[in-house]
Each structure stands twice: as structure tokens, then as C-alpha cells.
Structure 1
Amino acid sequence: MSTEQLEKFQDQVDIPEGVTVTLKKHMLHFVGPLGKTHKSFRTIPVNIKIEENKILLSTIEQKKRDYAILHTARSIIRNICEGLVTGYTIKMKIVFSHFPITVKVDGKSIIIENFQGERAPRLTHIVGNTKVVPKGEDVILTGEVWTDITQTAANIELRSKVKNKDHRVFLDGIYSFEKKKGIEK
């Protein structure tokens, strides 16, 4: 392979000011102004090195699949670094037609009560260090790690899904309507 082709299988991520990154075996530890987190790259076949203010990534092999994995790892690292500086926010809307749905947070679990008049509440869990705040008919999710926030939002949407009815008629549920950078209070 030529050097031009080999450069395609290497990439780097700039570490923003205020964020420190350390590497221990396959685990990257991030510390920033909004908190700290870690990410394991044990199952992702990428070589990682930290030099000065950059994280250097390279693939183990030179195949098309490895090229895609390299850029996935780069995006994960970049999103974590951005999140520790600015944070992320997802807003969700509670939609109901007859039975008013209430959302409560109890520790690391979210309780969805009175969904379609059901007596038993529906439970889901909060992933990572995501903060969930119900405000009237909105539910606001904030945090530093984008994958944790989006997974928490997906858990809420899936638990408030209408089953065994026509989903075009029964529109009750909790749906995300805004995703943005920055932590909203």
C-alpha cells in the first residue's frame, strides 16, 4: 500500500482546553469542567496513543470495515470531549389525549404513571450520569455523555409505546422534539 492509502487508516482528535485525557490499557479516562467519565475501547479494534494535546488513532488492519470503525471511535471521543466542555440537552414532550401521564424520577429510575389509564406504573432506568427533570408537560434530559443521554431518551420512548392498538389513532407517549449542545436549566 502507498503512504497515501496508509494515512487513510490513521486519524487524530484534538483535546480541547480544560479537558484532560489519560489512557490505561484500553480505557480512556476524561476529566473536564462539567465532570468526568470513561470509555472502554476493549472491543473496538483501534490503536490509541496520547501525544501532547492530541489523541492518535490507527487501525489494526487496512480493510474497509476498519476504516469505518476508526471514524466511529473518533466520533465517540470527539463527542465525549465536547460534552465535558459544553454538555448536551434533549427535550421530550408528554403527549396524551384522555388520561394525563405523569413522569417522576426516583434515584436512577424513571416512573411513568397513568399511561393510558394503566394502574401499574411503567419503569425505565437512567443511563450513566444523565439528569432527568420533568417540568409540566416536558421532560428535560441533560448531561455530558451524548450516548448516555440518547439511550435514556430512547428508553423513555420505548416504555411509553402504545401496544396492541392503532398507533395512528392512539398518539399517547413521550417523544423527543429538541436535541442541542449546551446544558439548559
Structure 2
Amino acid sequence: MRYIFSEEQVVVPDDVSMKIRSRIVTVEGPRGKLTKDLSHIAVTFTLPEKKNKDGKQVLNVNIHHGSRKNVATLRTVKSIIDNLITGVTKGYKYKMRYVYAHFPINVNIEKTDDGRQNVEIRNFLGEKLVRYVKMLDGVNVEPSKGVKDQIEITGNSLENVSQSAADIQQICRVRNKDIRKFLDGLYVSERGNITED
């Protein structure tokens, strides 16, 4: 079955400006600028000059003659744009805790030449191997103040922040041992925004 017309609406806050050109969405806000290429998804964007009855600017995302799967992508596109707006207004923060039974994990944070940060993990399960994780663009890592064995990963792009956290967690996977017994690693303990309101 085909749906003749389907539409989702994204409310754009006053302090955020949005530009869409050939399905490449650029969102600019108080925290910075984010760009997302959605040219592979066959949807139509309309950003009317007039505001809605509440005085807010609204972005319309619609699709004509879409199948059920095509209509499902509308909600995905809406969520992606909502995440971009949240990123440039509030930012994203992930907290990760070190978990170890016997060998304490040592984590060092270094700056690389290209301005990104490198996370260096030593003494995982007592191994001599040093694990390195390079953070993605716009991602900042720092040890938590006042909390032992915790790091905070912050940034504007939800994709980059969550992928950096996942890279750290996955590099500390326990191999060739019973993972029910060996629970060591770095795990995400809390997800939130940088500016809480």
C-alpha cells in the first residue's frame, strides 16, 4: 500500500538558524554549527518564511507516494534534525566509569597534532598492551572532577559523542575468558546534556 502524502514537522527554536540545500542540512546555534548530509533519503524539505500560530518556525519534512518503509524514514529524519538542534543548543555529555576487580585501569588523555584527543588505556586486566582510541571531530574528553575512575565525553554531535564512547567501550572487550566473571572495562554510566535546564 502506498501513502499519498505523509508529513512530519520539526519546530526550530528562535536561537537556531537552519539552511537546507540539496538535502544537506546545516544547523547553527549558540554552541556551534553542525551539518548532516541526507541526500540519500528521498524526502522533501520546506522551510516556510512565515511562522506558525505559536510564533515558532517549523520545518516540514514530507514524502509523496511513499511505501510503508519510505514513510518510516520520515520519523528518522525528524529525529536526526532534532538531535542536531539539541546539539547546537544544549550539547551532549556521556559519563563513563572504569570497572575493575583487581588490576586498576589507568586512562591518560592526550592532544594530537590535528587538535583531536587521544585516550590511552593501560593496565587493562594487567596486560602490557596499551590501547589507543582517537576521538572523533568535535569530541572533548576529560576526567570527572570529584569522582574517581570516571571520564566525561562531551560534544555537539550526538553521533560523534556516542561513537567515541562506543569505541572506548569496545576496545576494552574481554577475550577468551568468561565475561560473566571478568566484568572489567569502561562502561557508559550516564547520558545527558552539557547544559541542564
| Common fold: TM-score over 0.5 | yes
Which residue is equivalent to 1:157? 169
Question: Where in structure 2 are the equivalents of 1:22-61 lying within 5 Å?
Answer: 22-52=19-49, 53-59=57-63, 61=65
Query: Contact conserved, 2:4 with 2:65, CA < 8 A, in 1?
Result: no
Q: Which moved more, 1:94-103 or 1:48-57?
A: 48-57
Cα separation, 1, equivalents of 2:64 and 2:129: 50
Which residue is equivalent to 1:120? 129
**Secondary structure of residue in 1 paired with 2:95:** strand
Which residue is equivalent to 2:11? 14
Distance 1:140 1:178, change over 3 A: same
Query: Contact conserved, 1:128 with 1:148, CA < 8 A, in 2?
Result: yes
Cα separation, 1, equivalents of 2:66 and 2:95: 41
**Secondary structure of residue in 1 paired with 2:76:** helix
**Secondary structure of residue in 2 paired with 1:110:** strand
TM-score by length of 1: 0.89
Count of aligned residue pairs for this structure pair: 181
Distance 1:45 1:102, change over 3 A: farther
Which residue is equivalent to 2:180? 168
Question: Where in structure 2 are the equivalents of 1:49-128 lying within 5 Å?
Answer: 49-52=46-49, 53-59=57-63, 61-107=65-111, 108=116, 109-128=118-137
Aligned-pair identity in percent equals 31
Cα separation, 2, equivalents of 1:30 and 1:164: 45
> 1:156 Cα deviation (Å)?
0.9
> 1:134 Cα deviation (Å)?
2.2
Quick one: which amino acid aligns to residue 94 of structure 1? Y
Cα separation, 2, equivalents of 1:43 and 1:60: 16
Quick one: which amino acid aligns to residue 138 of structure 1? Q
Q: Which moved more, 1:35-44 or 1:58-67?
A: 58-67
TM-score by length of 2: 0.84
Q: Which moved more, 1:172-181 or 1:115-124?
A: 115-124
Which residue is equivalent to 2:53? none
Which residue is equivalent to 2:156? 144
C-alpha RMSD of matched pairs (Å): 2.0
**Secondary structure of residue in 1 paired with 2:81:** helix
Query: Contact conserved, 1:143 with 1:183, CA < 8 A, in 2?
Result: no
Q: Which runs of 5+ in 1 are unaligned?
A: none
